[in-house]
Amino acid sequence: MTRILSPRDIRLASVSTLGEAARALGCLRPLVVVDPGVLTLGIAEPALKALSGAGLAASVFSGVSPDPLDTEAMAAAQAARDHGADGIIGIGGGSAMDIAKVAALLSRHGGHPRDHAVPKIVDLEVAPVICVPTTAGTGSEVTRAAVITDAASHEKLLMLGTALLPALALLDWELTVTCPFRVTVDSGLDALSHALEALVNRNASPYSDGLACEALRLIGANLERVAGAPQDGEARKAMLSGAMLAGLAVSHTSTALIHGMSRPIGAAFHVPHGMSNAMLMPLVTRFSIATAPQAYARAATALGAGDDLAGWLEGLNTRLEVPKIRDRGIAAPDYDAMIPEMVRQALASGTPANNPRLATAGEVADLYRALWQG
């Protein structure tokens, strides 16, 4: 069965329209979940001003980590209940938006994030969620997914379902202009990995293929451009659109082996998600390409990568200063000791089953070892 799900409203518009948009959804007492850095730097100020200008009684929650925790999601849910929130607004990168989405679920249905994680699909009614991205990367503003780290087990929990699908995505490229180099790059590489995995995915359809190809075209033409010229408005706008399209595509297909292997790396060693995806892209591409040569050829064409997609991805990583995993201050014995658990978590997430070439546990372990040697 092919099922196409997306937010009921996606707007490429000024954040100054947020207040009236929230009011139209019946959000008169929203909880605003905001990245603390976004709050401190004043990036969220136009959004908060728009809410107050529309006469909305907003309360702010900023207890969000770069790798959002289950404890933070539960605290945000409690903050929503305490405020009597009739909607939740996430402003920031994927962390803030994922906390907002999970808080909406927990505030109405209770429990721990693990209670709602895959293999369960959470198609439940929740209060309206509005997402306002300040990075061009995760696409969380348009996906039916969220990833939360269990603070006790250090495992990243994948949650899927319509309960995680925002009612409104409001994209204002001007909010991304102040993103520092590393955030811009890692976010953009995350978006690239979404589009790539959607295009080669076992669940791909003409709908997701069109979205993924256009996302790859936009990202391929603009990621290095915006990394070198952060004030380039056209490149910023293109990257935000590309990340959104990639999010729609991967929300339809789900992710595959790259993300399945990336999440455990982030949980165990606190490698930024987009960075660990980028580290894995060339390796997994070489592993998988013979199984789906036409899909990978379409990806290469959209990116302008020539006839060596894996080599092009390696070159992109070099140009964008993506480190090797062994250069992240991780001790080799610690990494090697974690491989069995990372393999378990990767396969338990279910997403490697969407990869064009299915990987055994032994092959996933070999890929983790090759990543260290690469």
Give CA–CA dist 155/216, Å, rounded. Answer: 30
359 domain residue, yes or no: yes
pLDDT at site 368: 99
Enclosing domain of residue 199: 180-373
Q: What is the pLDDT of residue 374?
A: 86
CATH of the domain at 126: 3.40.50.1970
Give the pLDDT confidence score for residue 1 in this predicted structure: 58
- Residue 235 pLDDT class (50, 70, 90 cuts): very high
CATH of residue 212: 1.20.1090.10
Q: Quick one: average pLDDT of 52-58?
A: 98
Q: How far apart are CA 118 and CA 351, in angstroms?
A: 10
Tell me: do 159 and 257 sit in the same domain.
no
Name 170's bridge partners.
Answer: 11
State whether 248 and 306 are in the same domain. yes
pLDDT at 111: 96
Does 158 share its domain with 18? yes
115 occurs within a structural domain? yes
Write a three-state SS string for the chain. CCCCCCCCEEEECCHHHHHHHHHHCCCCCEEEEECHHHHHCCCCHHHHHHHHHCCCCCEEECCCCCCCEHHHHHHHHHHHHHHCCCEEEEEECHHHHHHHHHHHHHHHHCCCHHHHCCCCECCCCCCCEEEEECCCCCCHHHCCEEEEEECCCCEEEEEECHHHCCCEEEECHHHHCCCCHHHHHHHHHHHHHHHHHHHCCCCCCHHHHHHHHHHHHHHHHHHHHHHHCCCCHHHHHHHHHHHHHHHHHHHHHCCCHHHHHHHHHHHHHCCCHHHHHHHHHHHHHHHHHHHCHHHHHHHHHHHCCCCCHHHHHHHHHHHCCCCCHHHCCCCHHHHHHHHHHHHHHHHHCCHHHHCCCCCCHHHHHHHHHHHHHC
One domain for residues 127 and 141: yes
Boundary-marking domain end, from 149, 175, 201: 175
Residue 114 lies in a domain: yes
Are 41 and 85 in contact, with CB atoms under 8 Å apart? Answer: no
pLDDT over 70 at 110, yes or no: yes
Count of domains in the chain?
Answer: 2
Give domain status of residue 2, yes or no.
no
Does residue 21 sit in the same domain as residue 115?
Answer: yes
Confidence of residue 341 (pLDDT cuts 50, 70, 90): very high
Assess whether pLDDT exceeds 80 at residue 102.
yes
Do both 134 and 281 map to the same domain?
no
- Among 83, 21, 31, 17, CA closest to 62: 31
168 shares its domain with 187: no
Q: Is the pLDDT of residue 291 over 80?
A: yes
Burial 280-304 (b: 16+ CB within 10 A, else e): bbbbbbbbbbeebeebbebbbbbbe
Q: Is residue 1 part of a domain?
A: no
Token output for 30: 């929203």
Q: Confirm whether 242 is domain-assigned.
A: yes
136, part of any domain: yes
Same domain, 139 and 229: no
CB atoms within 10 A of CB 324: 12
67 and 103 inside one domain: yes
To the nearest whole percent, how much of the chain has pLDDT over 90? Answer: 98
Percent with pLDDT over 70 in the chain: 100
Q: How far is 162 from 309, CA to CA, in rounded Å?
A: 34
In this model, does residue 298 exceed pLDDT 90?
yes
For 4, counting Cβ atoms within 10 Å of its Cβ (0-12 exposed, 13-18 middle, 19+ buried), the class is: exposed
149 and 269 together in one domain:
no
In this prediction, residues 181-206 reach a mean pLDDT of 98
Question: Is 360 in the same domain as 237?
Answer: yes
Residue 184 is assigned to a structural domain of this protein: yes
Question: Does 67 lie in the same domain as 155?
Answer: yes
Over the stretch 3-42, which tens digit does the pLDDT of each residue have? 888 999 999 999 999 999 999 999 999 999 999 999 999 9
pTM of the entire structure? 0.96
Give me 98's structure tokens: 């994922």
Q: Among 175, 195, 224, where does a domain finish?
A: 175
CB 255 within 8 A of CB 156: no
| Boundary residue ending a domain (140, 175, 210) | 175
Asked if 116 contacts 224 with a C-beta cutoff of 8 angstroms, the reply is no
CB-CB contact of 260 with 118 (8 Å): no
Q: Work out the mean pLDDT of the chain and round it to a whole number.
A: 97
